């Protein structure tokens, strides 16, 4: 696949998650809530996580922001549901490395649609947009530990 076709595909995946977000809403039952914002651009997210026996049972978000931040939140919640907290944190580390433009070893963790965001590394001003939901997840699980 040529670079232009790959770039187009990645844009389509990002816009699909932006226009049709997965896991937008509220978690039922006991959960932890993390509110974060990016003061640079005004993106904000409220992330709700239901963690039981060190496994992310459910993850939902609400908020406002650009297509990158909201797509990333959609992709992240989809990716971490049903995973151990350790795996969710590993995915976050891999994602952070990807945003820095570093080669990543996915450590056998399927990143799925998240790989569509790797082009954000070329735009340093947008990296905080892409990592906002991931930072909220890290804060939530670390504060809950």
Report strand pairing: 32-37 vs 44-52. antiparallel
CA distance linking residue 6 with residue 10, whole number of Å: 6
Residue-level pLDDT at 7: 74
Alpha-carbon span 41 to 129, nearest angstrom:
8
Kindly state the tokens that stand for 74: 């959609």
Contacts of 73 (CB under 8 A, 6+ apart): 21, 45, 47, 61, 63, 132, 133
Mark the ranges of the chain whose per-residue pLDDT is less than 50.
Answer: none
Sequence spans of domains, the chain: 3-144
Pick the CATH number of 3-144 from 2.30.110.10, 2.60.200.30, 3.90.1010.10, 3.90.180.10: 3.90.1010.10
Give tens-digit pLDDT for 28-53. Answer: 999 999 999 998 889 999 999 999 99
Residues whose CB falls within 8 Å of the CB of residue 91, separated by 6 or more in sequence, listed in order: 76, 79, 80, 83, 109, 111, 114
């Amino acid at each position: 696949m040529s670079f232009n076709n790959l770039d187009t595909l990645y844009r389509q995946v990002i816009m699909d998650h932006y226009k049709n977000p997965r896991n937008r809403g509220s978690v039922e039952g006991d959960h932890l809530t993390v509110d974060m914002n990016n003061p640079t651009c005004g993106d904000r997210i409220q992330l709700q996580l239901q963690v039981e026996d060190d496994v992310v049972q459910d993850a939902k978000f609400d908020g406002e922001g650009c297509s990158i931040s909201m797509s990333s939140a959609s992709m992240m919640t989809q990716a971490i549901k049903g995973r151990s907290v350790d795996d969710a944190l590993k995915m976050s580390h891999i994602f952070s490395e990807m945003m820095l433009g570093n080669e990543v070893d996915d450590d056998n963790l399927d990143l799925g649609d998240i790989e569509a965001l790797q082009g954000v590394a070329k735009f340093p001003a947008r990296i905080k947009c892409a990592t906002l939901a991931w930072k909220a997840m890290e804060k939530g699980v670390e504060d809950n530990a």
